[in-house]
Amino acid sequence: MNNIWIEDTPIGQLGIYSDDFHLHMIQFIDTSYNNITASSNPSKIANCVSEQMHEYFNGTRRTFNLSLYLDLPPFYKKVLSEVSKIKYGQTASYMDIAIKSGDKKAVRAVGAANANNPIPIIIPCHRIIFSNGKIGGYGGGLEKKVFLLNQEGIDITL
């Protein structure tokens, strides 16, 4: 990974970490504490991420088409692969994903995989909620999760 690009979005700044071929990570940036040294020019992948993010926030994009690099344990990859299948405007529970990942008892492990998702929004962990319909947590903060769900037409509040 040799490129860090900062992108302004409606939910704040995002750090886009990439190399010449893959997106490695998207980080929510706290503007009150920003020690990231951004590249002066975005990589080709960062340009694609930027363009697709703008389309997503403008409501013209529902799926992302990017080359991702996930350096994660196999179960986490399996979970995030299932999370990636949740369509725009839909949600799934941690239990749903545990079952689809092959172990209905692995609900907490699904939560851990989501908490360690290095590519939020693109891998839409914001679409994961509790079985009882409660919102659950989100690495970027619950306000961002609510915004993203509302962006997709899911009427949910804190």
Instruction: Specify whether the CB–CB gap between 101 and 78 falls below 8 A.
Output: yes
Four-residue CA torsion sign, 24, 62, 130, 30: positive
Dihedral (C-alpha) 30, 32, 35, 39: value to the nearest 10 degrees? Answer: 70
Q: For 69-90, b where at least 16 C-beta lie within 10 A, e where not — what string?
A: bbeeeebbebbbebbbebeeee
Q: Looking at 113, 125, 128, 148, which residue is catalytic?
A: 125
Backbone φ and ψ of 120, nearest 5°: -65, 160
Q: Could you confirm whether 125 is annotated as catalytic?
A: yes
Distance of alpha carbon 79 from alpha carbon 44, whole angstroms: 28
**The tokens 């360690």 sit on which residue?**
116
Residues with a catalytic annotation lie at 125
